[in-house]
Amino acid sequence: MNGLKNWFKEIYTGVISTANGFAVTFVHFFREPVTIEYPEVNVESQLPERYRGILQVDMDICISCRLCESSCPISCIVIDDIKGAKSSVMSKITGKPTPKLKYPTRFDIDIAKCMYCGLCVEPCPTGAIHHTRRFEGTVTNVSDLTYSYVRPSDLAYAKDQVKLAEVQKEAPKEVVEPA
Amino acid sequence: MMNIGTAQIQFSDDEMEINMGPQHPSTHGVLRFRTFTDGELVRKAIPEIGYLHRAIEKIGEMVDYNGFMPYTDRVDYVAAMTANHGYARTVEKLLGTEVPARAQYLRVIADELCRIASHLIAVGTFPMDIGAVTPFIHALREREKVNTLIEALCGARLTYNYVRIGGVAFDLPAGYQTQVLSFLESFEKFIDEYDRLISFNQIFIGRTANLCPISKEQAIAYGLVGPNLRASGVNWDLRKNIPYAVYPELEFNVPLGTGERGQLGDCYDRYIIRIREIRESVKILRQCFDKIPEGPIMGKVPKNIKPPAGEAYTAVEAARGELGYFVVSDGTAKAYRVKIRTGSFASMAIIESLSNGILLADLIALIASLDVVAPEVDR
Amino acid sequence: MSSIELAANKIVSLNPLFQEIPIEFIYLGLMLLSASLLLGLLIAPIAGFSTYIERRIAGRIQSRIGCNRVGPEGVLQFLADGIKLLLKEDNMPKGADAPLFKLAPFLVVMGAFMSFACVPFGKYLVVANINVGILYLISISSFAVVGILLAGWSSNNKWSLLGAMRSAAQIVSYEIPLGLALMVPVLLSGSLGLQDLNTAQAGGMRNWFIFAAFPGPFIAFFVYFISALAEVNRTPFDLPEAESELVSGYNTEYSGIRWGMFFVAEYANMFLVSAISVTAFFGGWQPSRSNIVVSTMALFFTFLILVKTVDYLSKVIPGLLQGKKLFSLLSNFRPMRMNKVGWIAILCASIAGAGVLQLFADFWPVILITFIAKCYFFMFIIMWIRWVLPRYRVDQLMDLCWKKLIPIGFACLLWTAFLSLFGGWSGLF
C-alpha cells in the first residue's frame, strides 16, 4: 500500500514542480530583458566615478616623485626625469601648491601589463595619475599598448627648466641685508 | 531510488580510461579528471590539478606587502573580497595594528556581498550541470547586480583590491545604503522565485538526493571546510567559532545539513545549505548597515610596511570555507613566505574516494555540488 | 477518391497522349512532386525557423533578448547558420566507417521527414492519404533509431557508441506508451487513418477527442506528449545528445552540415510531434472557435515581424543607396524596441485580423495557416519545457517509462474502451 501511495505521490510532485517551473518562467516573458545592447548603448557614461579604467597622467601637475613607479607591483611604470628649476603646481588632492623640482622626460605605462589595481593612484600627492572610465583600448599591435604620456611640450618645458636652473646657479645670490 | 552512491561493484578487465580534460563544458575552471569507467559506472576518478597554477605564493616573496594585495584577488576570483580580507588580517597581526571600527564594518559588508555573489555562481552552475540552464542565467543576472554594487564601491567588478593593510581603500559612496537595501529587497524575492524554479523540482531532487553522502567523520578526516562541512552536519563556521572583524556583534544562523531529502551530506544538502547561507548573508548585510559607525577607514600604518620578523596565520570564512594565510616575515619590505590554504583543495581530494560506483553524470553533479573553483585549487 | 487520384484524372483528361502512360506512374510522379513541395517549401523552412524561435524563447525566459541581429528581428538567423554549416570543413574521425558515417544523418532525417507524408494539413492537403497512418508513423519513427545507432557505431568513439545505445534504448522503450496513448484516439474514431481522425473531430471544439470520454484521452494526451518528447530526445530526456557534461553523445564526431542534418531532424521531429498531437487530440485542421486564438497568435507575430522588417529596411536601404557595404550595415544599428503602445496596436490588429480570417474559415490557405499555428503552440510548449526542467538520469528515465507511463496508458485505454462500448456519458460537453 505504501508503494502505491509513493507512486501517486511521485506523479503528484512531478506535476507540481513542473507547474511551478512553468509559472516562474512564464512571468519572465513579460519582463524587460536586462541585455545592454553594447556598442549602441553608451556604457561608459553609466560607469561609476570610481571605475578603474585605463590610466591617464596629467603631466602638468606631475612632480616626478616616483611614488607610483615604486608602488606598482608589476613594475609597468617607467619614469625618467631631470632636475630643473623649482616651480609650483596646484595639487588636485590638497588644493595647495606643491613644489616641483624634477621634470619627467619619460613617463611610460605599459597598459597591457597593468592590472588596474589602483595602487599607483593612491600615493600620488598631486593626483596627476588617475583612472579614467575608458575601457576600450584595443589595438592591433601590442607595442601600441605602451602609452607615453610625456608630450613634446613637456620635453621642451623640462629643457627650459634645466636651463633656468643653470642660470639661477650662476647668478649671484641676493644678499638680504638686515635692516 | 537506486542507492547508487554506496553500491559495491565488481569490475571486469574491460574498463577504459576517459579523460575529462581541462577543457570543460561546465564552468568550474580548468580541472582534469582521469576517470576509469566501464562506460556506465565510474570506478575511480583521479583529479589532476595544476592547470591554473600562477605561482601566486612565490610572487608573495617578490612584491611588497601592499603590492601583494591585488594578487590575493586572483586566489579566488569568484569571491575576491574575502581573500583580500584574510591577507590583510594576517599582516595586521604581524604588525600589531588596530583597524578602526568603520573599516571592519566595511570589510564585512564587502565580504558578505561577495559571499552572495560566489554562492550565486555555485547554486547556478549546479543545476546547469544537471541540465537546467535557466537557473544559471537567472543567478548570473543577480550576480551582475552585485557586481555593479561592488563596482560603485571600489571601481572594479572582479578583482577588487579593496582591502588595505590597516583598513579599506574607499569609503561608501553617496547613496550606497539605499542602493544596497533596495537590491536586497528585490533579491529576497528572487531567491524565493529561484527556489520555486529549481530547488524543489522533483527531477532535480531525484538527481541529487542520496548522491555521494559524506558523513561527519569522513568530512572531518578529509579536511573539508565551509558549506561542504556544514552540509555533513558539523557545526563549524569561523564566523562563529573563531570570530573576527565585527561578526561577534551580528546575529545570524549557521545553516546545517540534515539530510532532508535524502541522506545527510548528500549533494542536495550541499546545494540547499548555500541557498540558506545566501539568505543569512542578506540578514547580515542589513544589520551592518544599521550598525556601521562613523570614523576613519584606515588605521595607523607606516607607508613602507616592514613588519618585525615572525610568522602569523589567520583565516577567514570565505564562500568556500576557511581561507587561511600563513605569512612569514623576515623584517624586510617583502615577505619571506606566503602560504595560502584554500577550501577547494580538500574538496578536490575527496572526489577520488567518493567516485567509486557512481554514474558519470553523477560525477559531474558531485564536482559541482562541492563547489570546486580551479583558481583556489591551483593558486 | 484521394486528392492524388483526382489530380491524376484531371491530368489524364488534359491530353490524350497521357492516357498511354500507366496511371500508376502519374500517381507516383504527383506524389513525388507534392512530397517535395511539402518538405522543401513547408517543413524544411519550418524546421529551420523553429531553431530561431527556440533561441528567442530561450532568451526571453532567461531575461535576455535572444538573437535579433541577422535580418529583421533576427529571422534570417537560421539561414546564416545553414550557410555557415555548409562552409565548414568536412572531417571524419580516423578509424570511422565512412559509408555508415555518411549514411547516418540521412537516415535520421528520413525518419523525421518521411512521416510528414501522411499528415493531413487540410481536407485535400495530404500527400498520401493512407488508411493506416498511425501505424506508418510509429514505424517510420524507428528509422531514427537505426540512424542514431549507425552514427554512434561509425564514429569510432566509445562515448558516441554508448550515447547511441542509450538513445536507442530510450526511443525503443518510449514507443510503447506512445502507441498506447495513440490507440485512444484510434478507438474513438474507429480508424487508424489520420484523415479519418480529423473528420471524426469535425464540428467545433466540443468534438475534440481530448474532451471525449473524460478523463481518458485527456490523460492519454499527456502520456503521448511525454513519450513523444522522449522519442525526439528533447529535455528532460536529452541524455543522449546533451551528455554535454562530457561529450555530445552520438553527435560528437559530426561537424558542419552533417551535424546540421541531425539538428534539423530534431526540429522537424518536434513539429511532427505537435502535428500529431493536434491531429489526434485537438481537432486537427478542422475549423473551430479556437482558431480565433491561434490566428491571433500567428498574426501577432507576423505583424511584429512586419513592423520590424519595415524598420530594418528603413535603416538598411538608405545606407545601401549611399554605397555602404551590406555587411557593415546589417548589424550596425540598434534594433528598434517596441513600447507599450506598439504592443497594444499590434495586438488589436491581430485580433481584428483573426476575426476577418474566421470569415474565410473554409478557404484552404487559411486552414493550412491555422493548422500550422496550432502546431506551433505545441512547439512552444515543447521548447518551454526544455528551458524549465533539468535532465533525467537514464535509470530514472526508464523508471518513468515502464513504471509510470505504461500503466497510465493502459488505464486510459481501458477507460476509453469501456466508455466507448457502453456509450452514455462520452464527453465533457
Task: Provide the residue type at B150 as one letter.
Answer: I
Q: Whole-prediction pTM value?
A: 0.89
Residue of B nearest to C241 (CA): B131
Task: Provide the residue type at C122 as one letter.
Answer: G
Residue of C nearest to B4 (CA): C395
Dmax (CA) of chain C: 76
C268-290 pLDDT, tens digit per residue, is: 999 999 999 999 999 888 888 88
Query: A20 and B200: CB-CB below 8 Å?
Result: yes
Query: B207 and C159: CB-CB below 8 Å?
Result: no
With contact defined as beta carbons under 8 Å apart, do B318 and B347 qualify? no
The CA R_g of chain B, rounded to the nearest whole Å, is 21
- From C243's Cα to the closest Cα of chain B, the distance in A is 8
pLDDT top residue among B23 and B163:
B163
Interface residues of A toward B, Cβ cutoff 8 Å, are: 10, 13-14, 16-18, 20-21, 23-25, 34, 47-48, 50-52, 71-73, 115-119, 122-123, 131
% of chain B surpassing 90 pLDDT: 56
B260 touches chain A (CB under 8 A): no
Query: B132 and C62: CB-CB below 8 Å?
Result: no
Residue of C nearest to B39 (CA): C162
C49-70 pLDDT, tens digit per residue, is: 999 999 999 999 998 988 888 8
B46-94 pLDDT, tens digit per residue, is: 888 888 899 999 999 999 999 999 999 999 889 899 999 999 999 999 9
Query: B138 and C62: CB-CB below 8 Å?
Result: yes
Mutant choice from B137, B208, B271, B358 vs C, greatest count of C C-beta within 10 A = B137
Query: B207 and C387: CB-CB below 8 Å?
Result: no
Predicted confidence band of residue C166 (pLDDT cuts 50, 70, 90): confident
Among A9-23, B188-202, C54-68, C197-211, which is the least confidently predicted range?
C197-211
- Sheet with A97-110: strands ordered across: A77-90, A97-110, A146-148
Mean pLDDT value across residues B228-239: 91
- From B251's Cα to the closest Cα of chain A, the distance in A is 32
d(CA C328, CA C336): 18
Residue A10: its chain C contacts at CB < 8 A?
A: 404
The CA R_g of chain C, rounded to the nearest whole Å, is 23
From chain B residues 327-366, the ones with a CB under 8 A of any chain C CB are: 359-362, 364
Query: B193 and A10: CB-CB below 8 Å?
Result: no
% of chain A surpassing 70 pLDDT: 96
Mutant choice from A27, A37, A38, A42 vs C, greatest count of C C-beta within 10 A = A37
- Residue A161, pLDDT > 80, answer yes
* Count of pairs with CB atoms under 8 A, one residue in B, one in C: 76
Dihedral angle, C-alpha C46, C47, C53, C54, nearest 10 °: 160
Q: Residue C304 half-sphere exposure, CB side, CA atoms within 13 Å?
A: 19
ipTM summary value:
0.86
Residue of C nearest to B40 (CA): C162
- Residue B349, pLDDT > 70, answer yes
Which of C105-109, C151-155, C209-213, C294-298 ranks highest by mean pLDDT?
A: C105-109
| CA C374 centroid distance within chain | 11
Instruction: Please give the full DSSP string across B178-204, using - where no structure is assigned.
Output: HHHHHHHHHHHHHHHHHIIIIIT-HHH
- From B67's Cα to the closest Cα of chain A, the distance in A is 5
CB proximity list for B80: less than 8 A, separation 6 or greater: B72, B73, B74, B114, B158, B159, B160
Cα dist from C206 to A176, B51, C64, C281, whole Å: 115, 65, 40, 12
Per-residue pLDDT at C427: 57
Q: For residue C331, give the nearest of C69, C90, C100 by alpha carbon.
A: C69
pLDDT top residue among C186 and A2:
C186
Per-residue pLDDT at B282: 94
B61 touches chain A (CB under 8 A): no
Query: C246 and B360: CB-CB below 8 Å?
Result: yes
With contact defined as beta carbons under 8 Å apart, do B147 and B157 qualify? yes
Predicted confidence band of residue C177 (pLDDT cuts 50, 70, 90): very high
Domain ranges for chain B, please list them.
55-378
Residue A10: its chain B contacts at CB < 8 A?
A: 202
Per-residue pLDDT at C245: 52
Mutant choice from B33, B126, B130, B134 vs C, greatest count of C C-beta within 10 A = B134
With contact defined as beta carbons under 8 Å apart, do B167 and B297 qualify? yes
- Residue C133, pLDDT > 60, answer yes
CB proximity list for C121: less than 8 A, separation 6 or greater: C42, C285, C367, C368, C371, C372
From chain B residues 209-248, the ones with a CB under 8 A of any chain A CB are: none
Residue C71: all three cell numbers together: 535580418
* Count of pairs with CB atoms under 8 A, one residue in A, one in C: 37
Residue C116: all three cell numbers together: 510528414
C62 touches chain A (CB under 8 A): yes
Pick from C58, C243, C391: CB nearest B130: C391
- Residue C35, pLDDT > 80, answer yes
Residue A28: its chain C contacts at CB < 8 A?
A: 60-63
Per-residue pLDDT at C426: 55
Q: Does domain B55-378 have CATH number 1.10.645.10?
A: yes
Query: A123 and B303: CB-CB below 8 Å?
Result: yes
B145-201 pLDDT, tens digit per residue, is: 999 999 999 888 998 999 999 999 999 999 999 999 999 999 999 999 999 999 989
A50-96 pLDDT, tens digit per residue, is: 899 999 999 888 888 899 999 999 999 999 988 888 888 888 888 88
Per-residue pLDDT at B100: 93
C65 touches chain B (CB under 8 A): no
Per-residue pLDDT at C66: 86
Per-residue pLDDT at C209: 87
DSSP annotation of B270 reads H
Query: B18 and C159: CB-CB below 8 Å?
Result: yes
Query: A37 and C388: CB-CB below 8 Å?
Result: no
- Residue B287, pLDDT > 70, answer yes
Pick from A13, A24, A119: CB nearest B196: A24
- From C89's Cα to the closest Cα of chain A, the distance in A is 28
With contact defined as beta carbons under 8 Å apart, do C197 and C120 qualify? no
Residue of C nearest to A25 (CA): C61
A38 touches chain C (CB under 8 A): no
% of chain B surpassing 70 pLDDT: 95
Per-residue pLDDT at B12: 55
- From C78's Cα to the closest Cα of chain B, the distance in A is 22
Residue B208: all three cell numbers together: 541529487
Per-residue pLDDT at B71: 93
Residue C159: its chain B contacts at CB < 8 A?
A: 18
With contact defined as beta carbons under 8 Å apart, do B132 and B198 qualify? yes
% of chain A surpassing 90 pLDDT: 30
- Residue B138, pLDDT > 90, answer yes
- From B157's Cα to the closest Cα of chain A, the distance in A is 9
Average pLDDT, chain B: 88
- Residue C409, pLDDT > 90, answer yes
CATH of domain A48-169: 3.30.70.3270
Per-residue pLDDT at C369: 87
Residue C395: its chain B contacts at CB < 8 A?
A: 2
Pick from A18, A22, A34: CB nearest C64: A34
Pick from C62, C236, C392: CB nearest B134: C62
Domain ranges for chain C, please list them.
18-64+73-285+392-422, 294-361
Query: B203 and A14: CB-CB below 8 Å?
Result: yes
Instruction: Please give the full DSSP string across B60-89, using - where no structure is assigned.
Output: TTTSBTTTTHHHHHHHTTTSHHHHHHHHHH
- What SS3 class is residue A28? helix
From chain B residues 183-212, the ones with a CB under 8 A of any chain C CB are: 197-198, 201, 203-204, 206-207
Which of B30-44, C23-37, C182-196 ranks highest by mean pLDDT?
A: C182-196
Residue A43: its chain C contacts at CB < 8 A?
A: none
